Chain A
Protein backbone atom coordinates (compact mmCIF):
# COMPACT_ATOMS: atom_id res chain seq x y z
CA UNK A 1 0.00 0.00 0.00
CA UNK A 2 2.67 2.43 1.10
CA UNK A 3 4.84 1.39 -1.77
CA UNK A 4 2.04 2.04 -4.23
CA UNK A 5 1.38 5.52 -2.87
CA UNK A 6 5.03 6.38 -3.18
CA UNK A 7 5.12 5.23 -6.74
CA UNK A 8 2.06 7.20 -7.74
CA UNK A 9 3.63 10.25 -6.15
CA UNK A 10 6.71 9.70 -8.20
CA UNK A 11 4.69 9.31 -11.36
CA UNK A 12 2.92 12.54 -10.68
CA UNK A 13 6.22 14.27 -10.09
CA UNK A 14 7.74 13.09 -13.35
CA UNK A 15 4.50 14.00 -15.06
CA UNK A 16 4.79 17.52 -13.77
CA UNK A 17 8.40 17.84 -14.81
CA UNK A 18 7.58 16.29 -18.19
CA UNK A 19 4.74 18.69 -18.64
CA UNK A 20 6.95 21.58 -17.66
CA UNK A 21 9.73 20.54 -20.04
CA UNK A 22 8.46 22.53 -23.04
CA UNK A 23 8.26 25.62 -20.86
CA UNK A 24 11.77 25.08 -19.55
CA UNK A 25 13.22 24.59 -23.01
CA UNK A 26 11.30 27.25 -24.90
CA UNK A 27 10.67 29.74 -22.11
CA UNK A 28 13.98 31.65 -22.06
CA UNK A 29 13.97 32.19 -25.82
CA UNK A 30 10.36 33.31 -25.90
CA UNK A 31 10.79 35.66 -22.93
CA UNK A 32 13.88 37.29 -24.49
CA UNK A 33 12.23 37.63 -27.89
CA UNK A 34 9.11 39.20 -26.39
CA UNK A 35 11.00 41.58 -24.08
CA UNK A 36 13.74 42.75 -26.43
CA UNK A 37 12.05 42.30 -29.78
CA UNK A 38 8.24 42.32 -29.70
CA UNK A 39 7.83 44.95 -26.97
CA UNK A 40 10.27 47.44 -28.54
CA UNK A 41 8.61 46.94 -31.93
CA UNK A 42 5.16 47.73 -30.51
CA UNK A 43 6.59 50.64 -28.56
CA UNK A 44 8.22 51.94 -31.71
CA UNK A 45 4.92 51.70 -33.56
CA UNK A 46 3.39 53.77 -30.74
CA UNK A 47 6.27 56.28 -30.85
CA UNK A 48 5.82 56.69 -34.58
CA UNK A 49 2.43 58.30 -33.91
CA UNK A 50 3.80 60.70 -31.30
CA UNK A 51 5.49 64.04 -31.47
CA UNK A 52 8.45 63.75 -29.12
CA UNK A 53 11.76 65.53 -29.05
CA UNK A 54 14.66 63.76 -27.36
CA UNK A 55 16.36 67.03 -26.48
CA UNK A 56 13.29 68.14 -24.52
CA UNK A 57 12.51 65.04 -22.48
CA UNK A 58 10.23 66.88 -20.06
CA UNK A 59 7.80 67.92 -22.70
CA UNK A 60 4.98 65.36 -22.86
CA UNK A 61 4.43 63.26 -25.95
CA UNK A 62 1.64 64.35 -28.21
CA UNK A 63 -0.43 62.08 -30.41
CA UNK A 64 -0.17 63.19 -34.02
CA UNK A 65 -1.56 60.17 -35.88
CA UNK A 66 0.15 59.49 -39.18
CA UNK A 67 1.71 62.96 -39.34
CA UNK A 68 5.24 61.60 -38.84
CA UNK A 69 4.85 59.21 -41.76
CA UNK A 70 3.65 62.07 -43.94
CA UNK A 71 6.54 64.29 -42.84
CA UNK A 72 9.08 61.60 -43.59
CA UNK A 73 7.60 60.77 -46.98
CA UNK A 74 7.49 64.43 -47.96
CA UNK A 75 11.00 65.18 -46.71
CA UNK A 76 13.29 65.74 -49.72
CA UNK A 77 16.18 64.24 -47.73
CA UNK A 78 14.24 61.03 -47.18
CA UNK A 79 13.20 60.74 -50.81
CA UNK A 80 16.69 61.45 -52.09
CA UNK A 81 18.19 58.89 -49.75
CA UNK A 82 15.53 56.39 -50.79
CA UNK A 83 16.43 56.87 -54.45
CA UNK A 84 20.17 56.50 -53.86
CA UNK A 85 19.66 53.48 -51.61
CA UNK A 86 17.59 51.73 -54.29
CA UNK A 87 20.22 52.50 -56.95
CA UNK A 88 23.00 51.40 -54.60
CA UNK A 89 21.20 48.17 -53.86
CA UNK A 90 20.46 47.28 -57.48
CA UNK A 91 23.96 48.08 -58.74
CA UNK A 92 25.67 46.16 -55.94
CA UNK A 93 23.37 43.15 -56.22
CA UNK A 94 23.86 42.92 -59.99
CA UNK A 95 27.64 43.00 -59.59
CA UNK A 96 27.60 40.58 -56.68
CA UNK A 97 25.45 38.11 -58.60
CA UNK A 98 27.50 38.23 -61.78
CA UNK A 99 30.87 38.18 -59.99
CA UNK A 100 29.71 35.56 -57.52
CA UNK A 101 28.37 33.27 -60.22
CA UNK A 102 31.45 33.81 -62.38
CA UNK A 103 33.88 32.98 -59.60
CA UNK A 104 31.79 30.03 -58.43
CA UNK A 105 31.79 28.66 -61.99
CA UNK A 106 35.55 29.13 -62.29
CA UNK A 107 36.04 27.27 -59.01
CA UNK A 108 33.68 24.52 -60.13
CA UNK A 109 35.63 23.58 -63.25
CA UNK A 110 37.75 20.43 -63.05
CA UNK A 111 41.00 22.17 -63.89
CA UNK A 112 40.74 24.67 -61.04
CA UNK A 113 39.24 22.38 -58.39
CA UNK A 114 42.51 22.15 -56.50
CA UNK A 115 42.60 25.91 -55.92
CA UNK A 116 39.08 25.79 -54.61
CA UNK A 117 39.94 25.17 -50.94
CA UNK A 118 42.60 27.88 -50.46
CA UNK A 119 40.53 30.33 -52.46
CA UNK A 120 37.49 29.67 -50.29
CA UNK A 121 39.57 30.39 -47.19
CA UNK A 122 40.79 33.68 -48.65
CA UNK A 123 37.41 34.99 -49.63
CA UNK A 124 35.60 34.03 -46.44
CA UNK A 125 37.67 36.63 -44.59
CA UNK A 126 36.04 39.78 -46.11
CA UNK A 127 32.63 38.34 -45.28
CA UNK A 128 33.57 37.91 -41.63
CA UNK A 129 35.10 41.35 -41.12
CA UNK A 130 32.91 44.04 -39.55
CA UNK A 131 31.53 46.42 -42.20
CA UNK A 132 32.88 49.34 -40.16
CA UNK A 133 36.35 47.81 -40.28
CA UNK A 134 36.22 47.03 -44.00
CA UNK A 135 35.10 50.60 -44.60
CA UNK A 136 38.07 51.74 -42.52
CA UNK A 137 40.66 49.75 -44.42
CA UNK A 138 39.20 50.83 -47.76
CA UNK A 139 39.14 54.41 -46.57
CA UNK A 140 42.89 54.14 -45.95
CA UNK A 141 43.26 53.15 -49.59
CA UNK A 142 40.88 55.78 -50.96
CA UNK A 143 42.71 58.83 -49.55
CA UNK A 144 43.49 61.16 -52.43
CA UNK A 145 47.14 62.03 -51.77
CA UNK A 146 48.59 59.17 -49.76
CA UNK A 147 46.08 56.45 -50.64
CA UNK A 148 47.51 53.39 -52.36
CA UNK A 149 44.73 53.35 -54.94
CA UNK A 150 45.49 56.72 -56.50
CA UNK A 151 49.22 56.27 -56.10
CA UNK A 152 49.05 53.04 -58.05
CA UNK A 153 46.89 54.71 -60.69
CA UNK A 154 49.46 57.50 -60.96
CA UNK A 155 52.18 54.92 -61.52
CA UNK A 156 50.08 53.59 -64.39
CA UNK A 157 49.74 57.11 -65.74
CA UNK A 158 46.12 57.62 -64.71
CA UNK A 159 44.98 60.59 -62.67
CA UNK A 160 42.91 59.11 -59.86
CA UNK A 161 39.73 60.87 -58.75
CA UNK A 162 39.07 62.38 -55.34
CA UNK A 163 37.30 59.21 -54.23
CA UNK A 164 35.38 60.36 -51.20
CA UNK A 165 35.20 64.03 -52.11
CA UNK A 166 33.07 63.87 -55.24
CA UNK A 167 29.54 62.53 -55.14
CA UNK A 168 29.84 60.19 -58.11
CA UNK A 169 33.11 58.61 -56.97
CA UNK A 170 32.01 58.50 -53.33
CA UNK A 171 29.02 56.45 -54.44
CA UNK A 172 31.26 54.13 -56.44
CA UNK A 173 33.58 53.84 -53.46
CA UNK A 174 30.68 52.76 -51.23
CA UNK A 175 29.49 50.23 -53.81
CA UNK A 176 32.99 48.73 -54.10
CA UNK A 177 33.22 48.17 -50.33
CA UNK A 178 29.78 46.55 -50.34
CA UNK A 179 30.71 44.27 -53.25
CA UNK A 180 33.97 43.37 -51.54
CA UNK A 181 32.19 42.27 -48.38
CA UNK A 182 29.13 40.59 -49.84
CA UNK A 183 30.30 38.76 -52.96
CA UNK A 184 31.92 35.95 -50.90
CA UNK A 185 28.51 35.01 -49.52
CA UNK A 186 27.14 34.76 -53.07
CA UNK A 187 30.10 32.61 -54.14
CA UNK A 188 29.53 30.23 -51.23
CA UNK A 189 25.85 29.69 -51.98
CA UNK A 190 26.41 29.42 -55.74
CA UNK A 191 29.14 26.85 -55.15
CA UNK A 192 26.71 24.80 -53.09
CA UNK A 193 24.11 25.30 -55.82
CA UNK A 194 26.43 24.19 -58.63
CA UNK A 195 27.07 20.95 -56.77
CA UNK A 196 23.38 20.11 -57.06
CA UNK A 197 23.38 20.33 -60.88
CA UNK A 198 23.23 16.88 -62.47
CA UNK A 199 26.59 16.11 -64.05
CA UNK A 200 25.07 13.39 -66.23
CA UNK A 201 22.90 15.89 -68.04
CA UNK A 202 25.88 18.16 -68.68
CA UNK A 203 27.98 15.25 -69.90
CA UNK A 204 25.22 14.08 -72.20
CA UNK A 205 24.90 17.57 -73.66
CA UNK A 206 28.69 17.76 -74.11
CA UNK A 207 28.68 14.44 -75.95
CA UNK A 208 25.97 15.80 -78.21
CA UNK A 209 28.35 18.66 -79.02
CA UNK A 210 26.81 21.49 -77.02
CA UNK A 211 29.17 24.40 -76.37
CA UNK A 212 30.10 25.47 -72.85
CA UNK A 213 27.92 28.56 -73.16
CA UNK A 214 24.98 26.54 -74.37
CA UNK A 215 25.36 24.10 -71.47
CA UNK A 216 25.48 26.99 -69.02
CA UNK A 217 22.38 28.75 -70.30
CA UNK A 218 20.24 25.67 -71.01
CA UNK A 219 21.17 23.38 -68.13
CA UNK A 220 23.17 25.02 -65.33
CA UNK A 221 21.31 28.31 -65.09
CA UNK A 222 17.77 26.86 -65.03
CA UNK A 223 18.81 24.25 -62.45
CA UNK A 224 20.14 26.81 -59.98
CA UNK A 225 17.48 29.43 -60.68
CA UNK A 226 15.88 29.13 -57.25
CA UNK A 227 19.23 29.53 -55.53
CA UNK A 228 19.87 32.69 -57.50
CA UNK A 229 16.43 34.02 -56.55
CA UNK A 230 17.20 33.29 -52.93
CA UNK A 231 20.63 34.94 -52.94
CA UNK A 232 19.35 37.98 -54.80
CA UNK A 233 16.45 38.55 -52.43
CA UNK A 234 18.66 38.07 -49.35
CA UNK A 235 21.24 40.47 -50.79
CA UNK A 236 18.63 43.06 -51.74
CA UNK A 237 17.17 42.99 -48.24
CA UNK A 238 20.63 43.25 -46.70
CA UNK A 239 22.03 45.92 -48.98
CA UNK A 240 18.98 48.17 -48.51
CA UNK A 241 19.93 48.23 -44.83
CA UNK A 242 23.36 49.71 -45.57
CA UNK A 243 24.39 51.88 -42.65
CA UNK A 244 27.76 50.98 -41.14
CA UNK A 245 29.78 51.42 -44.34
CA UNK A 246 28.31 54.83 -45.16
CA UNK A 247 28.68 56.10 -41.59
CA UNK A 248 32.35 55.19 -41.62
CA UNK A 249 33.32 55.95 -45.21
CA UNK A 250 31.56 59.22 -46.01
CA UNK A 251 29.12 59.95 -43.17
CA UNK A 252 26.75 61.10 -45.90
CA UNK A 253 29.21 63.51 -47.50
CA UNK A 254 29.79 65.25 -49.85
CA UNK A 255 26.85 67.34 -48.68
CA UNK A 256 24.22 64.77 -47.91
CA UNK A 257 24.43 63.05 -51.28
CA UNK A 258 25.45 59.63 -49.99
CA UNK A 259 22.99 59.47 -47.09
CA UNK A 260 21.09 56.19 -47.27
CA UNK A 261 17.67 55.43 -45.79
CA UNK A 262 19.44 53.96 -42.78
CA UNK A 263 21.62 56.96 -42.04
CA UNK A 264 18.75 59.40 -42.70
CA UNK A 265 16.51 57.65 -40.16
CA UNK A 266 19.33 57.42 -37.64
CA UNK A 267 20.10 61.11 -37.99
CA UNK A 268 16.43 62.11 -37.79
CA UNK A 269 16.16 60.33 -34.45
CA UNK A 270 19.56 60.93 -32.88
CA UNK A 271 20.97 64.09 -34.51
CA UNK A 272 17.73 66.03 -34.81
CA UNK A 273 16.09 64.27 -31.85
CA UNK A 274 12.82 63.65 -33.73
CA UNK A 275 12.08 60.27 -32.20
CA UNK A 276 8.61 59.97 -33.70
CA UNK A 277 9.86 60.73 -37.20
CA UNK A 278 12.73 58.32 -36.76
CA UNK A 279 10.34 55.54 -35.76
CA UNK A 280 7.97 56.30 -38.61
CA UNK A 281 10.89 56.30 -41.02
CA UNK A 282 12.09 52.98 -39.63
CA UNK A 283 8.70 51.37 -40.28
CA UNK A 284 8.55 52.79 -43.79
CA UNK A 285 12.03 51.37 -44.26
CA UNK A 286 10.89 47.95 -43.04
CA UNK A 287 7.94 48.03 -45.44
CA UNK A 288 10.16 48.98 -48.39
CA UNK A 289 12.58 46.15 -47.58
CA UNK A 290 9.83 43.56 -47.20
CA UNK A 291 8.10 44.55 -50.43
CA UNK A 292 11.25 44.72 -52.54
CA UNK A 293 12.71 41.44 -51.29
CA UNK A 294 9.41 39.55 -51.51
CA UNK A 295 8.77 40.90 -55.01
CA UNK A 296 12.23 39.90 -56.21
CA UNK A 297 11.75 36.44 -54.75
CA UNK A 298 8.36 36.01 -56.41
CA UNK A 299 9.50 37.30 -59.78
CA UNK A 300 12.62 35.18 -60.00
CA UNK A 301 11.50 31.90 -58.47
CA UNK A 302 10.43 29.20 -60.83
CA UNK A 303 6.72 28.69 -60.53
CA UNK A 304 6.14 25.27 -59.11
CA UNK A 305 2.73 24.27 -60.40
Chain B
Protein backbone atom coordinates (compact mmCIF):
# COMPACT_ATOMS: atom_id res chain seq x y z
CA UNK B 1 0.00 0.00 0.00
CA UNK B 2 2.71 2.37 1.06
CA UNK B 3 4.93 1.58 -1.92
CA UNK B 4 2.02 2.03 -4.31
CA UNK B 5 1.39 5.48 -2.92
CA UNK B 6 5.01 6.41 -3.29
CA UNK B 7 5.17 5.21 -6.88
CA UNK B 8 2.02 7.24 -7.58
CA UNK B 9 3.75 10.28 -6.16
CA UNK B 10 6.88 9.64 -8.21
CA UNK B 11 4.71 9.21 -11.28
CA UNK B 12 3.06 12.53 -10.64
CA UNK B 13 6.41 14.29 -10.27
CA UNK B 14 7.66 12.57 -13.43
CA UNK B 15 4.63 13.69 -15.38
CA UNK B 16 4.99 17.21 -14.08
CA UNK B 17 8.63 17.31 -15.17
CA UNK B 18 7.74 15.81 -18.55
CA UNK B 19 5.11 18.45 -19.16
CA UNK B 20 7.49 21.18 -18.05
CA UNK B 21 10.14 20.02 -20.51
CA UNK B 22 7.54 19.87 -23.28
CA UNK B 23 6.29 23.36 -22.42
CA UNK B 24 9.85 24.74 -22.55
CA UNK B 25 10.43 23.02 -25.90
CA UNK B 26 7.30 24.55 -27.43
CA UNK B 27 7.62 27.95 -25.85
CA UNK B 28 11.32 28.73 -25.79
CA UNK B 29 11.89 29.49 -29.52
CA UNK B 30 8.99 31.96 -29.42
CA UNK B 31 10.25 33.53 -26.21
CA UNK B 32 13.76 33.73 -27.61
CA UNK B 33 12.71 35.45 -30.85
CA UNK B 34 10.52 37.96 -29.02
CA UNK B 35 13.16 38.86 -26.43
CA UNK B 36 15.84 39.03 -29.13
CA UNK B 37 13.76 41.56 -31.03
CA UNK B 38 14.05 43.89 -28.03
CA UNK B 39 17.81 43.50 -27.58
CA UNK B 40 20.61 45.77 -28.69
CA UNK B 41 22.95 44.37 -31.30
CA UNK B 42 25.72 44.06 -28.73
CA UNK B 43 23.51 41.95 -26.51
CA UNK B 44 22.58 39.57 -29.35
CA UNK B 45 26.03 38.83 -30.71
CA UNK B 46 27.39 37.31 -27.52
CA UNK B 47 28.69 33.88 -26.72
CA UNK B 48 27.10 33.68 -23.30
CA UNK B 49 23.39 33.86 -24.08
CA UNK B 50 21.46 36.61 -22.38
CA UNK B 51 18.26 34.86 -21.35
CA UNK B 52 16.61 38.08 -20.19
CA UNK B 53 17.09 41.32 -22.11
CA UNK B 54 18.94 43.66 -19.75
CA UNK B 55 18.81 46.77 -21.91
CA UNK B 56 15.47 46.59 -23.75
CA UNK B 57 15.33 48.69 -26.89
CA UNK B 58 13.02 49.38 -29.79
CA UNK B 59 15.84 49.99 -32.25
CA UNK B 60 15.14 46.78 -34.21
CA UNK B 61 11.54 47.83 -34.75
CA UNK B 62 12.55 51.33 -35.77
CA UNK B 63 15.00 49.72 -38.19
CA UNK B 64 12.43 47.47 -39.90
CA UNK B 65 9.79 50.18 -40.03
CA UNK B 66 12.10 52.77 -41.57
CA UNK B 67 14.76 50.92 -43.51
CA UNK B 68 13.06 47.83 -44.90
CA UNK B 69 10.01 46.91 -46.93
CA UNK B 70 8.43 45.41 -43.84
CA UNK B 71 5.52 47.91 -43.73
CA UNK B 72 4.62 47.03 -47.34
CA UNK B 73 4.85 43.29 -46.72
CA UNK B 74 2.74 43.57 -43.59
CA UNK B 75 0.16 45.72 -45.35
CA UNK B 76 -0.12 43.21 -48.20
CA UNK B 77 -0.44 40.32 -45.76
CA UNK B 78 -3.16 42.05 -43.76
CA UNK B 79 -5.16 43.02 -46.85
CA UNK B 80 -4.84 39.63 -48.58
CA UNK B 81 -5.65 37.62 -45.42
CA UNK B 82 -8.65 39.71 -44.39
CA UNK B 83 -10.26 39.79 -47.84
CA UNK B 84 -9.59 36.08 -48.35
CA UNK B 85 -11.23 35.30 -45.01
CA UNK B 86 -14.28 37.42 -45.76
CA UNK B 87 -14.90 35.97 -49.22
CA UNK B 88 -14.11 32.41 -48.26
CA UNK B 89 -16.40 32.42 -45.22
CA UNK B 90 -19.33 33.80 -47.23
CA UNK B 91 -18.93 31.38 -50.14
CA UNK B 92 -18.27 28.36 -47.92
CA UNK B 93 -21.20 29.17 -45.63
CA UNK B 94 -23.49 29.35 -48.66
CA UNK B 95 -22.11 26.19 -50.25
CA UNK B 96 -22.32 24.22 -47.02
CA UNK B 97 -25.92 25.34 -46.57
CA UNK B 98 -26.72 24.44 -50.16
CA UNK B 99 -25.23 20.97 -49.81
CA UNK B 100 -27.12 20.19 -46.58
CA UNK B 101 -30.46 21.71 -47.62
CA UNK B 102 -31.01 20.72 -51.23
CA UNK B 103 -31.03 17.28 -52.67
CA UNK B 104 -28.61 18.38 -55.36
CA UNK B 105 -28.03 15.79 -58.04
CA UNK B 106 -24.45 14.59 -57.87
CA UNK B 107 -24.04 15.76 -54.30
CA UNK B 108 -21.79 12.87 -53.39
CA UNK B 109 -19.63 13.55 -56.46
CA UNK B 110 -19.26 17.14 -55.30
CA UNK B 111 -18.17 15.94 -51.85
CA UNK B 112 -15.71 13.49 -53.38
CA UNK B 113 -14.38 16.23 -55.65
CA UNK B 114 -13.88 18.50 -52.68
CA UNK B 115 -12.04 15.72 -50.87
CA UNK B 116 -9.72 15.03 -53.81
CA UNK B 117 -8.94 18.72 -54.27
CA UNK B 118 -8.03 18.84 -50.57
CA UNK B 119 -5.50 16.06 -51.10
CA UNK B 120 -3.63 17.80 -53.93
CA UNK B 121 -0.42 19.40 -52.67
CA UNK B 122 -0.34 23.17 -53.14
CA UNK B 123 2.91 22.84 -55.06
CA UNK B 124 1.10 21.12 -57.94
CA UNK B 125 -0.75 24.38 -58.58
CA UNK B 126 2.27 26.67 -58.65
CA UNK B 127 3.33 25.96 -62.24
CA UNK B 128 -0.09 26.09 -63.98
CA UNK B 129 -1.26 29.08 -61.93
CA UNK B 130 1.93 30.94 -62.78
CA UNK B 131 1.39 30.25 -66.49
CA UNK B 132 -2.30 31.21 -66.38
CA UNK B 133 -1.76 34.30 -64.22
CA UNK B 134 0.92 35.47 -66.60
CA UNK B 135 -1.58 35.41 -69.45
CA UNK B 136 -4.28 37.31 -67.55
CA UNK B 137 -1.92 39.71 -65.75
CA UNK B 138 -2.52 38.51 -62.23
CA UNK B 139 1.16 38.09 -61.42
CA UNK B 140 2.19 40.70 -58.83
CA UNK B 141 -1.43 41.32 -58.01
CA UNK B 142 -3.04 41.01 -54.58
CA UNK B 143 -6.31 39.81 -56.11
CA UNK B 144 -4.48 36.98 -57.79
CA UNK B 145 -3.33 35.75 -54.41
CA UNK B 146 -6.76 36.29 -52.86
CA UNK B 147 -8.46 34.30 -55.61
CA UNK B 148 -6.07 31.39 -55.17
CA UNK B 149 -6.21 31.44 -51.36
CA UNK B 150 -10.03 31.53 -51.35
CA UNK B 151 -10.18 28.55 -53.64
CA UNK B 152 -7.71 26.49 -51.68
CA UNK B 153 -9.38 27.25 -48.35
CA UNK B 154 -12.81 26.37 -49.74
CA UNK B 155 -12.73 22.54 -49.54
CA UNK B 156 -11.71 22.56 -45.86
CA UNK B 157 -14.15 25.37 -45.04
CA UNK B 158 -17.12 23.73 -46.78
CA UNK B 159 -16.24 20.48 -45.05
CA UNK B 160 -16.32 22.20 -41.66
CA UNK B 161 -19.57 24.04 -42.42
CA UNK B 162 -21.22 20.77 -43.44
CA UNK B 163 -20.52 19.33 -40.01
CA UNK B 164 -21.84 22.46 -38.29
CA UNK B 165 -25.06 22.62 -40.36
CA UNK B 166 -25.72 18.94 -39.73
CA UNK B 167 -26.09 19.72 -36.04
CA UNK B 168 -29.15 21.89 -36.76
CA UNK B 169 -32.34 19.83 -36.33
CA UNK B 170 -34.34 19.41 -39.55
CA UNK B 171 -37.57 20.43 -37.80
CA UNK B 172 -36.41 24.02 -37.59
CA UNK B 173 -36.21 24.27 -41.38
CA UNK B 174 -39.50 22.44 -41.80
CA UNK B 175 -41.49 24.72 -39.55
CA UNK B 176 -39.88 27.78 -41.13
CA UNK B 177 -40.75 26.64 -44.64
CA UNK B 178 -44.37 25.98 -43.57
CA UNK B 179 -44.45 29.60 -42.43
CA UNK B 180 -43.47 30.57 -45.98
CA UNK B 181 -39.85 31.39 -45.33
CA UNK B 182 -37.73 31.42 -48.50
CA UNK B 183 -34.39 29.62 -48.72
CA UNK B 184 -32.53 32.90 -48.70
CA UNK B 185 -34.34 34.16 -45.60
CA UNK B 186 -33.84 30.79 -43.97
CA UNK B 187 -30.12 30.93 -44.63
CA UNK B 188 -29.64 34.45 -43.32
CA UNK B 189 -31.99 34.50 -40.34
CA UNK B 190 -32.09 30.87 -39.21
CA UNK B 191 -29.14 28.77 -40.36
CA UNK B 192 -26.33 31.34 -40.16
CA UNK B 193 -27.08 32.54 -36.60
CA UNK B 194 -27.09 28.91 -35.47
CA UNK B 195 -23.61 28.22 -36.82
CA UNK B 196 -21.98 31.47 -35.66
CA UNK B 197 -19.32 29.60 -33.68
CA UNK B 198 -18.63 27.63 -36.87
CA UNK B 199 -18.15 30.90 -38.71
CA UNK B 200 -15.45 31.86 -36.20
CA UNK B 201 -13.75 28.48 -36.60
CA UNK B 202 -13.65 28.75 -40.39
CA UNK B 203 -12.64 32.42 -40.30
CA UNK B 204 -9.66 31.70 -38.02
CA UNK B 205 -8.44 28.82 -40.17
CA UNK B 206 -8.86 30.83 -43.40
CA UNK B 207 -7.07 33.83 -41.97
CA UNK B 208 -4.14 31.84 -40.62
CA UNK B 209 -3.94 29.80 -43.83
CA UNK B 210 -3.67 32.94 -45.96
CA UNK B 211 -1.35 34.70 -43.51
CA UNK B 212 1.05 31.75 -43.47
CA UNK B 213 0.96 30.70 -47.13
CA UNK B 214 4.35 30.55 -48.78
CA UNK B 215 4.79 28.53 -51.99
CA UNK B 216 2.10 30.21 -54.10
CA UNK B 217 3.07 33.69 -52.97
CA UNK B 218 6.67 32.82 -53.80
CA UNK B 219 5.79 31.94 -57.40
CA UNK B 220 3.11 34.56 -58.01
CA UNK B 221 4.79 37.70 -56.65
CA UNK B 222 8.12 39.16 -57.69
CA UNK B 223 8.16 42.84 -56.85
CA UNK B 224 8.55 43.94 -53.25
CA UNK B 225 5.40 46.05 -53.50
CA UNK B 226 3.23 42.91 -53.80
CA UNK B 227 5.06 40.44 -51.59
CA UNK B 228 3.49 39.14 -48.40
CA UNK B 229 5.29 38.73 -45.07
CA UNK B 230 6.43 35.08 -45.49
CA UNK B 231 8.07 35.98 -48.82
CA UNK B 232 9.50 39.14 -47.30
CA UNK B 233 11.13 37.17 -44.51
CA UNK B 234 12.47 34.67 -47.01
CA UNK B 235 14.02 37.36 -49.20
CA UNK B 236 15.53 39.02 -46.13
CA UNK B 237 17.41 35.84 -45.34
CA UNK B 238 18.48 35.28 -48.95
CA UNK B 239 19.59 38.82 -49.61
CA UNK B 240 21.71 39.76 -46.63
CA UNK B 241 25.21 38.42 -46.26
CA UNK B 242 25.48 39.21 -42.56
CA UNK B 243 22.41 37.93 -40.90
CA UNK B 244 20.62 40.90 -39.32
CA UNK B 245 19.62 38.97 -36.17
CA UNK B 246 17.77 41.83 -34.54
CA UNK B 247 15.60 42.81 -37.49
CA UNK B 248 14.91 39.18 -38.37
CA UNK B 249 13.71 38.61 -34.82
CA UNK B 250 11.57 41.74 -35.02
CA UNK B 251 9.98 40.78 -38.35
CA UNK B 252 9.47 37.23 -37.07
CA UNK B 253 7.79 38.55 -33.94
CA UNK B 254 5.44 40.73 -35.97
CA UNK B 255 4.64 37.80 -38.28
CA UNK B 256 3.88 35.57 -35.26
CA UNK B 257 1.62 38.13 -33.66
CA UNK B 258 -1.71 36.99 -35.18
CA UNK B 259 -0.93 33.36 -34.32
CA UNK B 260 -0.12 34.27 -30.72
CA UNK B 261 -3.13 36.55 -30.25
CA UNK B 262 -5.54 34.07 -31.82
CA UNK B 263 -4.10 31.19 -29.77
CA UNK B 264 -4.49 33.12 -26.53
CA UNK B 265 -8.02 34.34 -27.20
CA UNK B 266 -9.69 31.84 -29.51
CA UNK B 267 -8.32 28.55 -28.22
CA UNK B 268 -11.73 26.87 -28.15
CA UNK B 269 -12.45 27.57 -31.81
CA UNK B 270 -8.97 26.61 -32.97
CA UNK B 271 -9.11 23.25 -31.20
CA UNK B 272 -12.57 22.66 -32.65
CA UNK B 273 -11.41 23.55 -36.14
CA UNK B 274 -8.37 21.31 -36.12
CA UNK B 275 -9.96 18.29 -34.47
CA UNK B 276 -13.25 18.51 -36.38
CA UNK B 277 -11.34 18.98 -39.61
CA UNK B 278 -9.14 16.00 -38.86
CA UNK B 279 -11.82 13.66 -37.64
CA UNK B 280 -14.20 14.54 -40.45
CA UNK B 281 -11.61 14.46 -43.21
CA distance A126 to B25 in the complex (A): 10
Cβ-based interface call for B172 (8 A): no
CA distance A120 to B187 in the complex (A): 35
CA distance A32 to B117 in the complex (A): 12
Residue of B nearest to A126 (CB): B26
**Stretch of A76-84, A184-192, A197-205, A215-223 at the chain-chain interface:** A184-192
Cβ-based interface call for A86 (8 A): no
Contact of A25 among B15, B97, B208, B237 (CB under 8 A): B97
Interface residue tally for chain B (C-beta within 8 Å): 97
Contact of B33 among A18, A111, A140, A143 (CB under 8 A): A140
Contact of B182 among A17, A180, A192, A262 (CB under 8 A): A17
Contact B95 A241 (CB under 8 A): no
Contact B233 A152 (CB under 8 A): no
Contact A44 B15 (CB under 8 A): no
Residue of A nearest to B121 (CB): A241
**A29-B91, A243-B215 as given contacts; A136 in contact with B125, CB under 8 Å:** no
Residue of B nearest to A99 (CB): B22
Cβ-based interface call for B18 (8 A): yes
**A124-B270, A141-B29, A244-B215 as given contacts; A40 in contact with B125, CB under 8 Å:** yes
Residue of B nearest to A128 (CB): B259
* B165, chain A: closest CB distance, angstroms: 11
Contact A29 B92 (CB under 8 A): yes
Contact of A47 among B45, B128, B150 (CB under 8 A): B128
Q: Mark B8-31, 1 if CB is under 8 A from A, else 0.
A: 000110011011001101110110
Cβ-based interface call for B263 (8 A): yes
Q: Which residues of B contact A241 (CB under 8 A)?
A: 121-123
CA distance A28 to B262 in the complex (A): 29
* A15, chain B: closest CB distance, angstroms: 11
**A124-B267, A230-B278 as given contacts; A14 in contact with B26, CB under 8 Å:** no
Cβ-based interface call for A98 (8 A): no
* A29, chain B: closest CB distance, angstroms: 4
Contact B215 A28 (CB under 8 A): no
CA distance A109 to B18 in the complex (A): 13
Cβ-based interface call for B126 (8 A): yes
- Chain B stretch 164-204: residues in CB contact (< 8 A) with chain A: 182-184, 187
Contact of B271 among A36, A152, A155, A188 (CB under 8 A): A188
Cβ-based interface call for A174 (8 A): no
Please name 15 pairs of A and B residues whose Cβ atoms are closer than 8 Å in the assembled complex, sorted by A: A25-B102, A29-B95, A32-B151, A33-B117, A36-B147, A126-B26, A132-B214, A136-B252, A140-B245, A146-B44, A151-B46, A189-B279, A241-B121, A244-B215, A247-B214
The 4 closest A-B pairs by CB, nearest first: A25-B98, A130-B212, A128-B259, A29-B95
